[in-house]
Amino acid sequence: MRNMNERDFNARAARIREAIESGPLAMSEIADTMGVARTSVLNWKRKGNINLDNLKGFAQLTGYRFWWLAFGEGPKKYDEPEAELENPLMEIAKFSTEHARLVECISHLTAARVLTPALAEGITISLNAVAALKKSE
């Protein structure tokens, strides 16, 4: 994952603060639901320093997109239009929530350098093989 500097954490803190203040749950409810200390949620809100697993859970609870919370990129929420996204893969996500989750997973794994070019090529070959099997049925 890319290195975070103080400005990045401050910007993330602002996004987390927005999600808390306009989201459906109070900070204490977020902490209780996620099984973390209330001071942890307060620190996320103030400093933006949150581990990725907690950020994923936080995103699910608040309805804000993980990628927007983490990096400020893309739409804030799942119910926002995606027409102005710069990422062409997001066109795929318009077909279903499952497609959206797949695209988001690919984006996260690529940013984390887990999805290497060789692995991406292997997945592409596998998907093409599935498509070829479907055509022959």
What ranges do the domains of the chain cover? 1-75, 81-137
What residue type is assigned to position 50 of the chain?
I
Give CA separation, 30 vs 42, 49, 62, in Å: 10, 16, 9
Q: Which of 3, 50, 98 is nearest to 19 (CA)?
A: 50
Domain 1-75 top-level CATH class: mainly alpha
Give the amino acid at 123: I
Dig out the tokens for 76 from the structure.
Answer: 């804030």
pLDDT tens readout for residues 35-58? 999 999 999 999 998 998 899 899
pTM above 0.75, yes or no: no
For residue 78, the model assigns a pLDDT of: 73
99-129 confidence digits (pLDDT tens): 777 877 787 777 777 888 889 889 889 988 8
pLDDT single digits (tens) 44-100: 999 998 998 899 899 988 889 988 998 888 888 876 665 444 555 566 666 677 777
